[in-house]
């Protein structure tokens, strides 16, 4: 089976830098996949992307060495299994708030006896290899999002679930839940302490800490201990570049 390259980075204590795909288009996915990133996430929760668009985007990413990840709309086994069968090497599950939800996410990502995933890697076997069944349980990443006060209260219960590989902070939802003005890279003391606690709990349970961030502060997040870090996204990068181009002309 094709190696999950992110795991190799983590064994060397190196950060995995990623990009976010919210635009449902194979060419924009191809452009992003041509950059020097370690992973790309197809966002089926908030991105304008459905299953029939996500599959060709996964095929596009497959032409590169970038690790493909999908954020599913909800902690629902059917869509988790379907995206894994389509070739995702990691599943980000939003709004995982307690142990039972973490157990459900982990079970959907693993074949028996470690989970409940049904066998049928229709596309995944062509992408990953025809020995997929023998290795998928060790190569696929289950990535619950920690993004509510409830999840913080149940943090150790969530991260101690067998099969949880990464805890990924959703900063906007977490800060909203905490009653803080929502900021992706905010430094409000409550959010700073939440980040610190998540990193510490991840180390305790052998889980990789991840966070949604921006290039200007990504180095600080790496120093804090995060090892799965989103640093850019398709629509935000496009808007920023266009605005810069407009400013150059209007100010000349």
Cα four-point dihedral sign 73, 77, 80, 83: negative
Cis peptide before 113 (omega within 30 of 0): yes
At CA 31, angle to CA 57 and CA 210, rounded to 5? 70
Burial class for 76, CB neighbours closer than 10 Å (0-12, 13-18, 19+): middle
For residue 118, the 8-state DSSP code is P
**Overall residue count recorded for the chain in this entry:** 252
The answer to whether the beta carbons of residues 38 and 66 sit under 8 Å apart is yes
- Tell me, yes or no, if 235 is annotated catalytic: no
Burial class for 124, CB neighbours closer than 10 Å (0-12, 13-18, 19+): buried
Two structure tokens written together for 169: 């902070």
Known catalytic residues are 46
């Amino acid at each position: 089976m094709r190696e999950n390259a992110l795991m190799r980075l983590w064994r060397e204590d190196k950060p995995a830098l990623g990009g976010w795909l919210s635009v449902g288009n194979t060419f924009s996915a191809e452009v992003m996949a041509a950059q020097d990133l370690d992973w790309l996430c197809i966002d089926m929760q908030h991105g304008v992307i459905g299953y029939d668009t996500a599959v060709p985007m996964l095929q596009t990413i497959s032409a590169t060495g970038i690790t493909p990840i999908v954020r599913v709309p909800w902690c629902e086994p059917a869509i988790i299994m379907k995206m894994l069968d389509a070739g995702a090497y990691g599943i980000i599950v939003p709004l995982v708030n307690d142990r039972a939800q973490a157990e459900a996410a982990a079970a959907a990502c693993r074949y028996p006896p470690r989970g409940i995933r049904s066998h049928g890697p229709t596309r995944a076997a062509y992408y990953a290899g025809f020995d997929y069944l023998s290795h998928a349980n060790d190569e696929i990443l289950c990535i619950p999002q920690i993004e509510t006060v409830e999840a913080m209260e149940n943090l150790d219960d969530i991260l101690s679930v067998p099969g949880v590989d990464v805890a990924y902070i959703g900063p906007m939802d977490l800060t909203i839940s905490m009653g803080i003005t929502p900021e992706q890279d905010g430094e409000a003391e409550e959010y700073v302490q939440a980040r610190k606690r998540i990193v510490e709990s991840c180390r305790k349970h052998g889980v990789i800490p991840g966070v949604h961030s921006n290039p200007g502060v990504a180095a600080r997040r790496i120093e804090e201990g995060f090892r799965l870090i989103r640093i850019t996204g398709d629509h935000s990068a496009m808007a920023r570049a266009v605005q810069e181009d407009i400013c150059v002309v209007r100010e000349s």
